[in-house]
Structure 1
C-alpha cells in the first residue's frame, strides 16, 4: 500500500486522457461548444478544430514549443519547463521586504503553506495528530497510537516506521516517562480502533507505572531495549514478521547525538514506506545492527543518511559485507534533506524522487529537530511530504534553487496545475511569517513567460 502513493502524476495524466475522450464523445453527438477555448480538444481532436494553428503540423502538442520560440529561448529551456533566465528569477531571494507584513495578523496560514503553530514537541505531536487524523468517523480514525519519549529521539525516530503499517496512527510524545493530560485528552478524542493484533496503544521506551495505569482502558503493547541499535533491530524484526518478509532495502543512520539532524531525515520516509531504520555509531556497526543485516543474506540495499563526519568510510566498508551501501549526497543536514527529497533508486524505489512540480514538502527548523518525529505522519497521509530542513529557520541558496526546480508553471491556464503545497511545523519565533511568505511565493504557480503569478 505504501508504494502506491508515489504515482500521483500518472493518475493525473489518466484523468486528463479520460476527460479528453469524453469530450470527443460529446462532439460526435453534436454537442460542439467553445472548441476554440477548449485546449484539450484542440490537442486531441485536430480534425474537428479548424482554428488550429497551422504551425501544429506534426500532430502533437506544439503550443508549448511555439510559445518558447516566440522569445527565441527554446535552446535555453531547462528540464523544469521554464527558461534558465526565469529559473534564476525563481531562485532569487526577494529584494524588497514589507516591514508591516506580520502586523495585526488574525491567522498564520497562507495559500501554499499550512503552518502548525506549536512551540513544543508535545504540542506539535497533538497538532499533527489532529491535522492528519480528524477521527470524525471510522475511516479516518487511527488504528493504534504510538506513545514515544520526547527525550529519546533515537527510539522515537525508529518507532515512526510503525506509523503506516501496522498502525495507521500518530506519534504522541511522553516526557520523562509521563503522559500529559493534553496527550491523554487527544488519545481519548482519537478513540483508536486497534490494529490487526487489537493493539490500541504502543508504548515506546521507559514509562512510569503511574502513566501505564492511565492506559488501563486500552489494549497496549510495549517496546524497549537497552540501546538504540538493539531497539532498531527489535522493531526491524517486528515489522518483518508483520509483512512476512525481510525488506532488502534499509536506511542506515547514526545514533550519535551530533548526527541527529542527518538521522531524522529518515523519519518521513520510514513512516511512508516499508524500509526499516538501523543504527551505526562512532565505533562502527553495532552487533545488533549486524545481526539485523545478516537476515538479508548478503542482499541488503543500504542507504546512508550522514556525511563522512558522522558515518565514516570505515563504517561503510564494514557495511558492504552485508550488501550494497550508498550514501545520500549532502555535506550538511539541510543539503542532504533536499537531496533525499530529489533522490530515487529505481531498483528499490527508495527515495521521494521529487524533482518536478506537483508535490508536498514538510519544513522544520534545525533549531527544533524533535518536531520531525511527530511530523513524520505527513509522509504517510495527505501530501506524502518529505522532510526538508530550514537551517536555523532560514532559506539557503540551495533551497531557493530547489524550490525553483519544482516551481510549477502554466502555458495557458493556471487552473490546469500542477500545484505544490507545504507544511511548516514551527511557531513564528522559530520561523518568521516573513520566511513563510517567501516560501509561499516561491511555491506559487507562475506563467511560463512572465504573465504573473496565477494570472492569464
Structure 2
C-alpha cells in the first residue's frame, strides 16, 4: 500500500468504542491496513485535523469526545442537546445552547430513533458532568413520547423538550430558554434566511462561541415569531443580517429597524463560500461581534458546502480549544474565496519558526465530502513561512 505524507504523519491512530475512546500506537514500519471512518476516525497533517466521517451522528460524537474529555473541571459538560438529523433549522438554532451555561455538544441521531453510539455518548457525558444530578439533556424539535421515554431510560437526567410548530417558533423557544437558563437576554441577534441555509449556517460557530440567538426570516417576510422574540429586547437589539439582498430583502431589513440597529454582513457576497469568508472576517467593535479573521495565529473549521448537520456537529470547535470560525468548501475543490482568505493569514516568522504564530484547521467530513487534496492544500496554506521569502531552513 502506498503511503502519502498525510498517513505517515498519523502515527497515533485513535479507535473509538461505542462508550468511549481508546488508543493504540502503530509503529512506523508496521503494515498499515486500509482505513475507514470507523477504524481511523481522525486523520491529520501538520496543520490540520480531520473528523473523518460524513455521518452527523458519528461526527457529533467524535467532536464531543475531542472537547469534553472529563479531565479537569474545564472539560466537563453541564448538558447536551439531542437533534434528529435532517432538520437543519432546528439543529442550527440549537447551536446557541453549546455555549455556557449548557457547555455541551449538539448530538445527532436518526429521525425516530436513538442510535447506540449517541446513547453511549450521552451516558459518557453524564458520567463526567460537573454535576451529574443537574446534567441536562435538551431534546430539540419534535420527539414522540416513546422516543422521549427511551432517552429517559438511557440517561436518567433532567430532560427538557423544546419544540414549536415552525422553525421560526423553535428559534424563539431556544432564545427564551437560553435567556432563562443564563439569566441574561443577549442584545446581539443574528437573523438568517430559512430559504438559503448556506448563508445562515456559518453563524452556528459564532452562536456557540458567544451568547446570541439565531432567529429566522423568509426572503421577503419576517415571521411573527421572530418579531415576538425581537420585541422582548425593547428596541435595544443589535441585529446582524446574514447575506446580501438576494437572500434577505431590503424590505425585511427595513422592518427589522423597528427593533434596533441593523448591520448587514456579506452584502456583496456572490456565493455561500464568499459569505462564509465575509462572516469569518467581519468585526463590529461596537457590538463586540465578529471573528475578525484577518491575522495569523488562528484556527478555522472547514465543512463541505450544504452539509448543514455536519456544520452544527463541528460548531463546538468554536466553543472550546482554538475557537474556530467556519468556512465552506466544495467536495473536490477549495473555493477561491476560502483559499484567498487562508493565504492572507499565512503565518510569517522573522527569526525562528519555533516561535510561531501557528494556524490550524479542523476539517469535518470523509474524503468523499472533502478530498485529501483539499486537506493537503489547506495544510500548505496554513504553513508558517520565512519573512525573507527564503526556504524554511530552521
TM-score, length of structure 2 as denominator length: 0.85
| CA deviation profile, 1:329-365 (whole Å, cap 9, x unmatched) | 1221111111111111001111001100001000001
Q: CA deviation at 1:283?
A: 4.5
Q: CA deviation at 1:452?
A: 2.4
- Aligned partner of residue 310 in structure 1, secondary structure: coil
Distance 1:434 1:196, change over 3 A: same
Which of 60, 63, 82 matches 1:128?
Answer: 63
Which of 176, 190, 199 matches 1:237?
Answer: 176
Matched, 1:166 2:101: yes
Q: CA deviation at 1:102?
A: 7.9
Q: CA deviation at 1:371?
A: 0.4
Matched, 1:312 2:249: yes
8 Å contact 2:126–2:135 — kept in the other structure?
no
For structure 1, the 5+ residue unaligned runs are: 1-98
Which of 274, 278, 294 matches 1:339?
Answer: 278
8 Å contact 1:102–1:434 — kept in the other structure?
no
In 1, the alpha carbon distance for the partners of 2:71 and 2:123 equals: 13
> What is residue 323 of structure 1 aligned with on the other side?
260
8 Å contact 1:178–1:208 — kept in the other structure?
no
Which of 341, 356, 374 matches 1:435?
Answer: 374
In 2, the alpha carbon distance for the partners of 1:251 and 1:195 equals: 32
> What is residue 386 of structure 2 aligned with on the other side?
447
Matched, 1:302 2:239: yes
Q: Which moves more between the two structures, 269-278 or 321-330?
A: 321-330
In 2, the alpha carbon distance for the partners of 1:305 and 1:138 equals: 35
8 Å contact 1:279–1:289 — kept in the other structure?
yes
In 2, the alpha carbon distance for the partners of 1:393 and 1:319 equals: 39
> What is residue 276 of structure 1 aligned with on the other side?
213
- Aligned partner of residue 367 in structure 2, secondary structure: coil
Which of 138, 142, 145 matches 1:209?
Answer: 145
| CA deviation profile, 1:78-110 (whole Å, cap 9, x unmatched) | xxxxxxxxxxxxxxxxxxxxx984898657310
Structure ID, larger Rg: 1
In 1, the alpha carbon distance for the partners of 2:308 and 2:363 equals: 13
8 Å contact 2:94–2:174 — kept in the other structure?
yes
Distance 1:283 1:351, change over 3 A: same
Q: CA deviation at 1:240?
A: 2.1
In 2, the alpha carbon distance for the partners of 1:447 and 1:103 equals: 23
Q: CA deviation at 1:367?
A: 4.5
TM-score, length of structure 1 as denominator length: 0.74
> What is residue 54 of structure 2 aligned with on the other side?
119
8 Å contact 2:198–2:306 — kept in the other structure?
no
- Aligned partner of residue 348 in structure 1, secondary structure: coil
- Aligned partner of residue 361 in structure 1, secondary structure: strand
The structure with more strand, counted as a fraction of residues? 2
- Aligned partner of residue 324 in structure 1, secondary structure: strand
Q: Which moves more between the two structures, 207-216 or 425-434?
A: 207-216
Distance 1:403 1:170, change over 3 A: same
Q: CA deviation at 1:294?
A: 1.4
In 1, the alpha carbon distance for the partners of 2:189 and 2:7 equals: 48
Q: CA deviation at 1:140?
A: 1.8
Distance 1:188 1:242, change over 3 A: closer
The structure with more helix, counted as a fraction of residues? 1
> What is residue 12 of structure 2 aligned with on the other side?
none
Q: CA deviation at 1:391?
A: 2.9
Q: CA deviation at 1:136?
A: 4.3
Which of 383, 404, 412 matches 2:343?
Answer: 404
For structure 2, the 5+ residue unaligned runs are: 9-31, 33-39
In 2, the alpha carbon distance for the partners of 1:196 and 1:297 equals: 37
Q: CA deviation at 1:173?
A: 0.6
In 2, the alpha carbon distance for the partners of 1:144 and 1:194 equals: 9
In 2, the alpha carbon distance for the partners of 1:415 and 1:103 equals: 21
> What is residue 356 of structure 1 aligned with on the other side?
295
Which of 356, 359, 368 matches 1:417?
Answer: 356
Which of 121, 132, 148 matches 1:186?
Answer: 121
Q: CA deviation at 1:208?
A: 3.1
